[in-house]
């Protein structure tokens, strides 16, 4: 997983990133149930990135 520094981003940018990651995770979950997803590690990566963004959002407030 590539290390991304979310501390440098504004709150608005973090919220947009979080919404994008949540949408991608939803698509991933539906893809895995329909056996269309090949990369099963993508879900773990998305969850970890969402957790990092939420943590950075907590520090900005």
- Sequence-distant (≥ 6) Cβ neighbours of residue 55 within 8 angstroms: 6
CA-CA distance, 54 to 37, in Å (whole number)?
26
Which domain, by its residues, includes 27?
11-60
Rounded average pLDDT over 30-45? 82
How many domains does the structure of the chain reveal? Answer: 1
pLDDT level of residue 1 (50, 70, 90 thresholds): low
Q: What is the CA radius of gyration of the chain?
A: 13
Cβ distance 14 to 60 under 8 Å? yes
pLDDT (0 to 100) of residue 21:
95
pLDDT (0 to 100) of residue 38:
77
Q: Is the pLDDT of residue 54 over 80?
A: yes
Residue 15 in domain: yes
Containing H/E element for 4? none
Residue 35 in domain: yes
pLDDT (0 to 100) of residue 19:
97
Residue 3 in domain: no
Q: Per residue in 2-35, pLDDT tens?
A: 677 888 889 999 999 999 999 999 999 888 877 7
């Amino acid at each position: 997983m590539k290390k991304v520094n979310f501390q440098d981003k504004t709150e608005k940018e973090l919220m947009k990133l979080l919404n994008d990651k949540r949408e991608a995770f939803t698509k991933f979950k539906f893809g895995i149930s329909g056996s269309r997803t090949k990369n099963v590690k993508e879900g773990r990566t998305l969850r970890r990135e969402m957790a990092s963004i939420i943590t950075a959002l907590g520090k900005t407030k």
